[in-house]
Amino acid sequence: MTPADLPASDVPGRVVHDEIVPACRDWSGIIPAHHGLRIVDLEGRQAVDFLCYSAADPSERYNAADTMKFAKTIFLTTGHGLYSGLGRRLFTIVADSCGRHDTIGGCCSSESNVFRYGAPGTANCRDNFLKALGRFGLGRKDIVANVNWFMNVPVEADGEMAIVDGWSKPGDYVDLRAEMDVLVAISNCPQIYNPCNGGRPTPIRLVTYAPAGGAGVTLAGSRGSS
């Protein structure tokens, strides 16, 4: 039995949505306030590019610089928040079985793959974000510096940084609690030219759950690319 086959019975609430996102694909949806989103790295070492916005007003969106300043670290984990530029928490990380995620590397694009690897016409996370955000009327101007769950970007004492092999094992996950209604856009990273996906992009699992003891509501607008 693989992590994809296992029931989501260990999430701390009532499951309202459970979906496998194939390798290299995008996903977007609205996570209601107080609900949880579990992102599962099914096979290990798979980067998951992640953006989030206030569903009520998407001009309020994840702010990488403020999130790092408030956390006092570039390595987010349990207890840290994902903050908007208005100083409000969009999500709180309530569980993290991996312990290493990236806040500074951003997303890959067709242009950056040409610049860095001489590889034109590649699948990339920026194009995935454009698909995911387009379902909600958003576009290129709404893509900001993002979180990369399960991606490992260490920074050396002299400031040197690099994308290196991730720490995540099959079945590792991060649980996020929405602090307001939050629009989420995900790119299940298709990168094959650096180690962020262990050289082979793989599926992920997304589980949304209502608060323990709460009635919960249906997840709104969740969908991946066809």
How many CB atoms within 10 Å of residue 80? 21
Termini Cα distance of the chain: 27
Task: Give 46-61 pLDDT, tens digit per residue.
Answer: 999 999 999 999 999 9
Total-model pTM? 0.94
* Closest-CA residue to 108 (of 24, 40, 27, 190): 190
Which strands sit side by side in the sheet containing 26-31, from one edge to the other?
147-149, 48-54, 182-188, 26-31, 220-224
Q: Output the tens digit of pLDDT for each of the chain's 226 residues.
A: 578 787 777 999 999 999 999 999 999 999 999 999 999 999 999 999 999 999 999 999 999 999 999 999 999 999 999 999 999 999 999 999 999 999 999 999 999 999 999 999 999 999 999 999 999 999 999 999 999 999 999 999 999 999 999 999 999 999 999 999 999 999 999 999 999 999 999 999 999 999 987 654 444 455 665 4
